[in-house]
Amino acid sequence: MNECYGKKFILNGEMIPEYQFDNSLVYSGQSVYEVIRMVKGCPVFFHDHMERLAQSTRLIGKKMITGEESIRRDIIRLSKTERRKEVNLKIVFNYNSDVRNYLVYFIEPIYPDDEQYRNGVKGILYFAEREDPSSKVINHMLRSSIWQKLILEGAHEALLVNAKGQVTEGSRSNIFFLKGDELTTAPDQVILNGITRIHILDICREKGIALKQECVAADNISEYDAVFMTGTSPVVLPFCCIDNIKFRVDFPLIRDLRNLYIKRAEESTRLFRTVKRK
């Protein structure tokens, strides 16, 4: 299955028809990547994603294939080919032996619907750890095994459990636990610190929301009132259950965090348009 969505993609600065997309350009060798949500044709938190892309590249001992301004121009060019203005965009730096490729393309978005935000989604515990959680590197084998488990269980997301029996993060999200009026999330150093998570933490500090950064034991998750994930596509999405443990989804705090984040995201797209015009 071709993961490129849309009529065109960009390979090393060149606009190419979608039918020529080759998945091996992404999944052969070593790839670092970013997935960015596009709103009204503009990327959300563009500069934050570029900083993390640079960090991921450094952590695997590689050099950036192209710079932020080139990526900005290519996103603007590619966005003009897509009629759908709310979609996810993927940026990949692929290192395969002596060949380096840079790609920008749309991927089919899977956004929660109103019912899922209202009623929550199912999660499962999955015993696995990322080799280097601080860098956003494609691990095709882990992703495939988790996806198969999600399909079998009819679940939306997998919460990763490390060798110590602690929940660290989601397979494609970050995880927050809520008890009373206090949030708990894993420390930065044991997870991939998502862009959405970074802004949710900032909002918590601004609003004086009680927050602890520590790992929650998988055996103790039933002690919490609610659990939610943060990420590019889900934004802030509650779980109705994890395995057979049920949680509340009707906390005003979860809804407020989502709304405050959306306002920040909209402001970031306005900033991108302002810079674009200069």
Is 17 found in the same domain as 48?
yes
Q: Which domain holds residue 17?
A: 5-107
Decide if 136 contacts 32 (C-beta within 8 A). yes
250 in a structural domain: yes
272 in a structural domain: no
pLDDT at residue 227, rounded to an integer: 98
Is 257 found in the same domain as 122?
yes
Q: Among 259, 268, 186, which Cα is nearest to 227's?
A: 186
Is 229 found in the same domain as 95?
no
Is 24 found in the same domain as 97?
yes
Is 123 found in the same domain as 96?
no
Is 92 found in the same domain as 66?
yes
Among 75, 107, 139, where does a domain finish? 107
275 in a structural domain: no
277 in a structural domain: no
Phi and psi for 162 in degrees, rounded to 5? -85, -175
153 in a structural domain: yes
Task: Give, for all 278 residues of the chain, the pLDDT tens digit.
Answer: 678 998 999 999 999 999 999 999 999 999 999 999 999 889 999 999 999 999 999 999 999 999 999 999 999 999 999 888 789 999 999 999 999 999 999 998 889 999 999 999 999 999 998 877 777 887 878 888 999 999 999 999 999 999 999 999 999 999 999 999 999 999 999 999 999 999 999 999 999 999 999 999 999 999 999 999 999 999 999 999 999 999 999 999 999 999 999 999 999 999 898 865 44
Is 139 found in the same domain as 234?
yes
Among 45, 78, 107, where does a domain finish? 107
Report the domain count for the chain. 2
CATH assignment at residue 227: 3.20.10.10
CATH assignment at residue 33: 3.30.470.10
183 in a structural domain: yes
Is 239 found in the same domain as 144?
yes
Among 50, 74, 107, where does a domain finish? 107
Is 97 found in the same domain as 48?
yes
Q: SS3 string of the chain?
A: CCCCEEEEEEECCEEEEHHHCCCHHHHCCEEEEEEEEEECCEECCHHHHHHHHHHHHHHCCCCCCCCHHHHHHHHHHHHCCCCCCCEEEEEEEEEECCEEEEEEEEECCCCCCHHHHHHCEEEEEEECCCCCCCCCECCHHHHHHHHHHHHHHCCCEEEEECCCCEEEEECCCEEEEEECCEEEECCHHHCCCCHHHHHHHHHHHHHCCEEEECCEEHHHHHHCCEEEEEECCCEEEEEEEECCEECCCCCHHHHHHHHHHHHHHHHHHHHHHHHHHC
175 in a structural domain: yes
